[in-house]
Chains A and B, each alone.
Chain A
Amino acid sequence: MRNPKLWIAIIALVVVGAAIKLLFNFSVDAVRASVAIAPEILFNVAGFDVTPTIITLVIVVVIIILLAVLSTRNMQVVPSGLQNVMETAIEQMINLFEGIAGPKWRDFFTIAASIFILVIVSNFVGLIPGAGSIGVIKVGEETHTRVENGQICFEHDGKCDPSGIFVLGDAPEFIETTSLFVKNEIARGAHPEEHAALVPFLRAPSSDINLPLALALVSVIMTQVYGMRAQGLKYWTRFFSFGRLLKGDIAFGLIDVFVGIVELISELGKIIAFTFRLFGNIFAGEVILLIMAFLFFILPIPFYGLEFFVAFIQAFVFAVLTVAFMRLATAEHGGESHEAHH
């Protein structure tokens, strides 16, 4: 291979992996993966439940802040290094948004580009090896899991102290050998595998439904704001057009009202589609990688490449659709403005 840096990176990855394996007494034959839509709670800080997705979000925000600050700390007319990368990325986005929104791209740029950057970085961070597969084991909702003498037990009565970091595996037999708590739980009819699961330290924020929902709400609400800014109060006739109904034109008035209701529903559908498109793609990608890892050890590699593609495409689509909807909202509504003259 011509590129020695690649080999250095691979060797460093192997060394770090081996060091983690040696330093932390983790067990490979740990637990089933946690396939949970809602992120699991890692710990609680002052009444706030911290989840893996929130930890990852903090990392993502730090990465983005570092990128932004370092790339523009020392602006040069002739760019180099990080500044060049950032400028190229932003120029590409400008070209993309200009192609969709025309000269109005400037208004939409801040939101759409921020969505793009946040989504792509959080998707990529979720693909870091170890994200989703290194974590602690939890049983049920409250109990933390510990390791003692190389064995996993669950701290429900304060007896087991050493904590452990676990790597995903597929041997849930420990459940039979562990504490009374679990046995009692099983005896009470609880499914043991539902209650013991690996909670990873890192999980892509976009696979937590809250981030896609937040972005979707920001996107759709800002679309309304831009629409109103461009057209004034007339914008709302898109949803609530009683003009013809009040004039006594019952038939067309009802049609207008119905069209307004459909528009409202489609606006709601936009929120749902935005949310579940991002969430569904990233979450499904994680699940697929997990399932492939259980099927055959080398099988996740092609899907890993696919997930990188999906990670990019979802960020791209989120930003592009935001710009497209904003442009539609700010464009003059041909039919309605025509009606307004009558």
Chain B
Amino acid sequence: MEKLGINLPWFLAQLAGFLIVLFILRQFAYRPILNMLETRKKKIQEALENADRVRAEAATQQQEFERKLDEARREAQAVAASAQQAAEKERQRIIAEAQEDAEKIRVAARGELDYERKQMVSELRQQVIDLSLLGAQRVIGGNLDERKSRQLVENFLNEADFGGTTEPGSVANRAGA
């Protein structure tokens, strides 16, 4: 034992060293650090729970938000549809009005044209009467009873007119009617 170096004072010195280390470490290292680890664990747990709660809240909020968004979208769609309908109606109305206007203008133009044509036809008739009377006078070489012969030509023309198949005639006829 002696030669191995086992010796009571030295042994006690080493043991005292170990016990000092033990108590110092327990007091200054293990206790505070274990407490700190515990605190940290608790804190992390709390933080995780908090995070979970916040996440759940966020999820419900998100759902709410999406629901609202959907609603808004639907509303907007409805508004857009009604607006489109109104616009379509308006368009129809405008088109109809325009067509009506165009019809009116066309009718007016046609009336004027008929009137012109009638006038031209009556003028032409006058001239034909005149020309035919003149020609007949030349052929006969004498004076004709102007009033009587004019009546005659006019009758003839009227007959020819009724028997005519030309377009202006029919138009004049219709206009006259």
Contact = CB atoms under 8 A, between A and B. Distances in A.
Interface in A46-82: 48-49, 51, 53-54, 57-58, 60-61, 64-65, 67-69, 71-72, 75, 77, 79
Contact of B40 (A49, A68, A77): A77
B21 A214 contact: no
Given A48-B9, A210-B6, A215 B18 contact: yes
B24 A68 contact: yes
Nearest to A87: B33
Contact of B37 (A49, A69, A87): A87
Nearest to B19: A218
Contact of B10 (A49, A58, A69, A86): A49
Contacts of A94: 37
Interface string A25-58: 0000000000011110000000011010110011
A68 B37 CA distance: 16
Interface stretch (A111-119, A141-149, A193-201): A111-119
Given A211-B14, A214-B15, A214-B18, A38 B5 contact: yes
Contacts of B22: 110-111, 114
Interface residues of A, number: 46
A37 B21 contact: no
Nearest to A115: B18
Contact of B28 (A38, A48, A72, A110): A72
Interface string A78-100: 01000000110011001000000
A90 B30 contact: yes
B13 to A, nearest CB: 5
Contacts of A86: 29, 33
Contacts of B39: 77
Contact of B36 (A77, A109, A214): A77
Interface in B1-48: 2-7, 9-11, 13-15, 17-18, 20-22, 24-30, 32-34, 36-37, 39-40, 43
A39 B3 contact: no
A323 interface: no
A126 interface: no
For the residues of B in contact with A, the DSSP-based class is helix
A211 B17 CA distance: 9
Given A54-B10, A61-B17, A210-B14, A75 B30 contact: no
B11 A213 contact: yes
Contacts, number: 118
B134 to A, nearest CB: 131
A40 to B, nearest CB: 10
Nearest to B17: A57
Contacts of A110: 22, 25-26, 30
A3 B25 CA distance: 33
A107 to B, nearest CB: 12
A69 B9 contact: no
Given A38-B3, A114-B26, A210-B5, A90 B33 contact: yes
A109 B30 contact: yes
Contact of A61 (B7, B21, B32, B36): B21
A208 B14 CA distance: 9
A312 B98 CA distance: 103
A39 B25 contact: no
A86 B43 CA distance: 20
A137 B18 CA distance: 30
Q: Which among B20, B33, B36 has the greatest number of chain A C-beta atoms within 10 A?
A: B33
A132 interface: no
A245 interface: no
A60 B33 contact: no
Interface in B25-77: 25-30, 32-34, 36-37, 39-40, 43
A210 B43 contact: no
A301 B64 CA distance: 71
Contact of B6 (A87, A114, A213, A218): A213
Contacts of B37: 87, 90-91, 94
8 contacts: A36-B5, A61-B17, A61-B21, A64-B25, A77-B40, A118-B17, A205-B14, A214-B11
Interface of B: 2-7, 9-11, 13-15, 17-18, 20-22, 24-30, 32-34, 36-37, 39-40, 43
